[in-house]
Structure 1
Amino acid sequence: MTSAHPSGPETTARPSIRSHHGDDVVDDYEWLRAKEDPDVLAHLEAENAYTDERTAHLAPLRQRIFDEIKGRTLETDLSVPTRQGAWWYYGRTVEGKQYGIHCRAPLAAEDDWTPPSLSPGVDVPGEVVLLDGNLEADGHEFFSLGSFDVSTDGTRLLYGIDTEGDERYTLRIRDLRTGTDLDDVIEGTSAGACFSPDGSAVVYTTVDDAWRPDTVWLHEVGTDASGDTTLFHEPDERYWVGAGFTRSERYLVIEAGSSITTEEYLVPASDLRAEPRSIWPRREGVEYSATHAIVGGEDVLYILHNDGALDFEVVRVAASDPTGAREIVLPHRPGRRLLDVSAFRDWAVVSYRRDGLARMGTLSYETNDVHELDFPEELYTAGAGGNPEWAPPLIRLGYGSFVTPGTVYDYDVATGEFLLRKRQSVLGGYDPADYEQRRDWATASDGTRVPVSLIWKRSFGEPGAGAPRPVHLYGYGSYEHSIEPGFSVARLSMLDRGVVFAIAHVRGGGEMGRQWYEDGKLARKRNTFTDFITVARHLVDIGATSPALLVAEGGSAGGLLMGAVANLAPELFAGILADVPFVDALTTILDPSLPLTVIEWDEWGDPLHDAEVYAYMKSYTPYENVRPGVDYPRILAVTSLNDTRVYYVEPAKWVARLRAVGADALLKCEMVAGHGGVSGRYNAWHQRAFELAWMLDVLGLADA
């Protein structure tokens, strides 16, 4: 078992052998995978107790940071109402309450597209509370809402709740005329269930034993779930499935996708039991997504695809014959990574990336021209969202930057006017002019220029213009996921203490287009790690910081990045924060029975069947490469017992091995939480305060 001593809980070695491709690996800590074993649970509790002991001196700082986050947040607030049908839908938060309250109020008139002006704490005429997360969470340590949909006629609410953190949701249906739930209860669903357009049925998905969404179901409202109909099942373990209705409500679209291949199916909304009709048969390496529109009275599909188009192109086809003639609407243009096309009655919204930033524009059905929306800052993030209506005159979009708090606009397509609906309130005298942001470029050894986004408080001076500054460097670099330069209230607690925040936009992410992603996956995965090291060295070389003043952070696949750079360049960092880190990747990817493993082979390779992939992954996986004689930076690993994406065992094993070679490594395991960490906003603030306090301590700023 474990026993506490000054260097932390001692993890007993219980050797097991992992054998693949003629390679026998002794793993002393694989026994920690037995989640129900009392010894394992006792070990995790001992780790938590040790972390609490080691960080006890930071309690006052944690409280100060929590108070700062809380003090800058307008706790009683409302979201901008979204129009759907005859109602405005919005959310409320109330001071002292952990979870949001979902509400609606009736339209003033049928042609009303101006959201009502709402005030915190003030009742709205005709307001109806649809669901109060605080009531639903009562009696549970964890609460997450995975599905939330209102029927088109506004009479029924569909909602799905997870109280364990394992991302399996129980669906229920509420009659909004009476406020009571129907007898319908559907257990073990994925997120994202929805009503059929007429509200008589529910479409939902379930997962297999490996946590892969594999089956789409149809549930008739008012019937027992045992009689639900299977609409689609995907037997290939590399593919996940999802389903949703087009904005036009003409079709149900079922998608089966792997990391590199897609096939979508159409089902007429008027006959949901009809055989799903493939839009384009799947071809290995071809990804696509379709959106339905009506142009010139004809049902058409706008299809975004990468067939012979690395950064994707958009074509238009007849919905009745999608494999027939294609009209190229937006041709492939290297350096412009097309991301999404979303069709409305009169035009479409196109989202794309160029020069490392998110862009968006309106697409004319008549001319195929795109009118790009212009945003004023050098660094920003922007995207459409909250647009359920088929024929609006306005586009709802979100905007923000490192210095500009989250902002909601309605964009008038006819006039080109941006209508400001709300800007996130930041209390305590926040002034954007006190902070500055910029884009830097670091050059890798192969000549690749890696973008770096920075923000700092002006009063401390520009990074690189004076003495080295403490720097908090963040990275991810997987799944073509882009880390955007967005606003953070919690980050102000670091900036106001003189810390510079930076994002290393490393290869493997999507910031610079599809090739940027391709150059950081599979047999080129090491580029992700070396790019991060390149950025860290760049910041040191320009005098912005020094290794003693540099702390790194990454989560999930970004946690793998953290573990890799700890092994490759430990001398560059004073500390590393790894959140739900994928640090035992090879062990996981070798086991197809584990959640999501087979799906992940397209991202990392298949080490189970390919000896070269096995050897390459073994060369960089953090747990495999912890070695004695290395002066590791201080490390904090944060995980959750019920995480189904990255099992708690990975950081638990990693910390045990680090500590066995003398590293100063801490493990914090939330015993009731999932991949996203704790639930509830106050709990989340406390969690972030814990992490920020630890980083400030590493940087020598615990008294700041």
Structure 2
Amino acid sequence: MKVADKGIIAPQVKKLPVELKMHDDVRIDNYFWLRERDNPEVVDYLTRENLYNDQMTAHTKELQENLFQEMKSRIKEDDSSVPYKLHGYWYITRYKKGKDYPIYSRKKETLDAPEEILFDVNEMAKGFDYYQLGGLNVSPDNKLIAFAVDTVSRRKYTIQIKNIETGEILPLKIENTSGGSTWANDNKTLFYARKDEETLRSDKIYKHCLGTDPEDDELVFYEEDETFHTYVYKSKSDKYVIIGSSSTLTSEYRFLDADHPEGEFRIVQPRIRGMEYSISHYEDFFYILTNKDGATNFRLMLAPVEDPGEDNWVDVLPHRKEVLLEDIDLFKDFLVVSERRDGLNKIKVMRWDGTESYYIPFDNETYTAFTGTNPDFDTEILRYTYNSLSTPTQVVDFNMKTREKDVKKEQQVLGDFNKENYISDRIWATARDGSKIPMTLVHRKGLKRDGSNPVLQYAYGSYGSTIDPYFSTVRLSLLDRGFIFVIAHIRGGEYLGRKWYEDGKLLKKLNTFTDFVDCSQHLINENYTSPQHLYASGGSAGGLLMGVVANIAPHLYNGIIATVPFVDVVTTMLDESIPLTTGEYDEWGNPNLKEFYHYMKSYSPYDNVVAQDYPNILVTTGLHDSQVQYWEPAKWVAKLRELKTDKNKLLFHTNMEAGHGGASGRFEALREVAEEYAFLLDLEGITR
């Protein structure tokens, strides 16, 4: 048995070897049995790990509580969103002091009108360890609101309907849905997506008519391809109900006149493998964002609604090699285009009549800007959000005609916060293949680069998901204690365009991991920090990143935090019964093919744990996680305990009530962050 410091014995778990054979290769998995969710021995093991974690961190409990109170104290507890107007009502989300959950309300025509409470989630969540309300969707006549609830955190939502006028919640319950729903214009027909019970893939679109039994709901679309998922929504114009079907590389859309829900859906363009597109409706046309004909960074095209197949697509904005076209917003007089150039967000405003075209000005290299809630079509006002690593979030109403900017709200940070005390910057590391890897960082002013600074380096690096530099009140608890926070914009994300993603997936996935390591080495070489003070953090696919980094470069880090980590890549990707697996083949590869199998095996963290020294490691997961099953981190921790040769900390905490996203309450979630921060500060010897 391995004995940790302070005489506390680390949990041990039995080994039951299972031979896993594929492509004439044999892997021995000693901990495969930990997949047995209902096995009392599995629950016992997770419970013992939690107890061990509590014992090993008992001396930091006061620090954790202080961090929690400190982070909570910066939050304006009685906060509210900037109202937006839709179909004659202003919609508002607000919080009450001391309450964990939001209150959703609306006011008719004017903000001076009486408030109608739609949902007080604090009341609804009573008695639940986890509670998530989503999919709010008001009927066109403003009388009914569909909503969805998840009380387990496996993202299986139950759809219900509330009569806003009477306050009555109808007896209807539609189980096992994705949460979203869409009203037809008759105010009585509701479209929604249902999930496969085992894989949790949203594969069916149903039509429900009020007053009927959901068991009798009509199936209007079934997505047979196991690598695709399907969803339904309404065009901003309210003209069409749209069914989307997407995989990692391919998309397809169908549309139905929302005035005639009894009709048949028409297809826009049948799927072509590798061709992605999305649609927005305006007058007699669909505006189509697509990578058609090798437009790697996407182009904007136009198609007539009457005959929208790709043969009729014509360019509105052609493909540009240096600019990633990310999104569009349509208004009566303006087209707004969201772009990314050299990693930076750009918002371009264009008049339909061609008389005017300009970019909204932003003034530094470490900002994030994106268009916000813009449901009103006939308006000159564009709402967008702006922040940076050192600037609190602003919600801005921008007059596209006069170019006047009205800051409707700047995030209020309570306490003695002054944004002038912090500095953010963008630096570039050179990867081992010569590529330049951007990093954004933030720290307090006056910091010296003498190699002694604690650094927390964070990244994700998968699915083309870009981690933009964003402001966080929570992060101040590290910055004010001398930490530098760094986001590494590694390949696998889209920070530098679509090719940046393509160069970090499938048989180029190793670039993601080596980029992160090369960024770490750059921070050390440039005296920002040293291996004794460098920490790494990532979650989900970013947790996979942490697992690989721990195996290939353990000497560079004093500590690693891996949250809900995807670490058992080969076994998971071979198991088609696990949620999300089949839809992931275009991201990671299909290990049923020999080339992908061996490539995945070469980096899969669980398969590559060896007898060596590892950094201090904190691993967290949720028992009900639907995206990364709890047994992946559980098996990884068990194997690390068996093989690692150091006396560093290995802590594992399973939230027995939550799933992939952690706790549901806004304050309870802070306790999880406080636990992570206390782990880092304890390793740095910072006790206050």
For the residue of structure 2 that corresponds to 1:415, the secondary structure is coil
Corresponding residue number in structure 2 for 1:90 = 92
Matches of 2:360 and 2:559, distance apart in 1: 40
Deviations 1:475-514 (A, max 9, x none): 1100000001101111000000000000110000110001
Deviation, 1:3, is 12
TM-score by length of structure 2 reads: 0.97
Work out whether residues 336 and 353 of structure 1, in 8 Å CA contact, stay in contact via their aligned partners in 2: yes
Deviation, 1:153, is 2.1
Corresponding residue number in structure 2 for 1:526 = 510
Matches of 1:373 and 1:224, distance apart in 2: 51
Deviation, 1:695, is 1.4
Deviation, 1:192, is 1.8
Matches of 1:438 and 1:3, distance apart in 2: 43
Corresponding residue number in structure 2 for 1:99 = 101
Deviations 1:128-179 (A, max 9, x none): 1100111111111000113111122211111100000110111111111111
Deviations 1:1-26 (A, max 9, x none): 99998341101111111111111111
Deviation, 1:274, is 2.4
Matches of 1:7 and 1:514, distance apart in 2: 48
- Alignment RMSD, CA only? 1.6
Deviation, 1:676, is 0.5
Matches of 2:191 and 2:401, distance apart in 1: 36
Corresponding residue number in structure 1 for 2:28 = 26
Q: Pick from 122, 131, 134 the counterpart of residue 122 of structure 2.
A: 134
Deviation, 1:406, is 1.2
Work out whether residues 366 and 424 of structure 2, in 8 Å CA contact, stay in contact via their aligned partners in 1: yes
Deviates further, 497-506 or 412-421? 412-421
Corresponding residue number in structure 1 for 2:431 = 444
Map 1:300-449; keep pairs closer than 5 Å: 300-307=285-292, 308-323=294-309, 324-367=311-354, 370-449=357-436
Over 3 Å counting, the alpha-carbon distance change for 1:60 and 1:492 in structure 2 is same
Q: Percent identity?
A: 42
Map 1:59-138; keep pairs closer than 5 Å: 59-108=61-110, 116=111, 125-138=113-126
Matches of 2:338 and 2:22, distance apart in 1: 44
Deviation, 1:687, is 1.1
Corresponding residue number in structure 2 for 1:454 = 441
Please tell me the residue identity of whatever aligns with 1:304: L
For the residue of structure 2 that corresponds to 1:70, the secondary structure is helix
Q: Pick from 132, 156, 171 the counterpart of residue 183 of structure 1.
A: 171
Matches of 1:602 and 1:2, distance apart in 2: 41
Corresponding residue number in structure 1 for 2:39 = 37
For the residue of structure 2 that corresponds to 1:406, the secondary structure is strand
> Does 2:274 align with 1:285?
yes
Deviates further, 3-12 or 373-382? 3-12
Matches of 1:391 and 1:517, distance apart in 2: 36
Deviation, 1:445, is 1.3
Corresponding residue number in structure 1 for 2:133 = 145
Matches of 1:239 and 1:276, distance apart in 2: 18
Deviation, 1:346, is 2.6
Work out whether residues 622 and 657 of structure 2, in 8 Å CA contact, stay in contact via their aligned partners in 1: yes
Please tell me the residue identity of whatever aligns with 2:360: L
Corresponding residue number in structure 2 for 1:262 = 251
Corresponding residue number in structure 2 for 1:111 = none
Deviation, 1:631, is 1.1
Deviations 1:652-687 (A, max 9, x none): 000000111135321100001111011101110111
> Does 2:166 align with 1:164?
no
> Does 2:478 align with 1:494?
yes
For the residue of structure 1 that corresponds to 2:676, the secondary structure is helix
Matches of 2:599 and 2:432, distance apart in 1: 20
> Does 2:603 align with 1:620?
yes
Matches of 1:366 and 1:678, distance apart in 2: 49
Matches of 1:585 and 1:348, distance apart in 2: 42
Work out whether residues 2 and 11 of structure 1, in 8 Å CA contact, stay in contact via their aligned partners in 2: no
Corresponding residue number in structure 2 for 1:119 = none
Matches of 1:455 and 1:538, distance apart in 2: 16
Matches of 1:367 and 1:221, distance apart in 2: 46
Matches of 2:355 and 2:431, distance apart in 1: 39
Work out whether residues 251 and 267 of structure 1, in 8 Å CA contact, stay in contact via their aligned partners in 2: yes
Please tell me the residue identity of whatever aligns with 2:476: L
Structure 2 alignment gaps of length 5 or more: none
Matches of 1:667 and 1:197, distance apart in 2: 50
TM-score by length of structure 1 reads: 0.94
Matches of 2:195 and 2:262, distance apart in 1: 21
For the residue of structure 1 that corresponds to 2:390, the secondary structure is coil
For the residue of structure 1 that corresponds to 2:171, the secondary structure is strand
> Does 2:564 align with 1:577?
no
Deviations 1:38-73 (A, max 9, x none): 111111111101001111111111111111111111
Structure 1 alignment gaps of length 5 or more: 109-115, 117-123
Q: Pick from 662, 667, 671 the counterpart of residue 677 of structure 1.
A: 662
Deviation, 1:362, is 2.3
Deviates further, 393-402 or 431-440? 393-402
Deviations 1:239-266 (A, max 9, x none): 1111111011111111111100111111
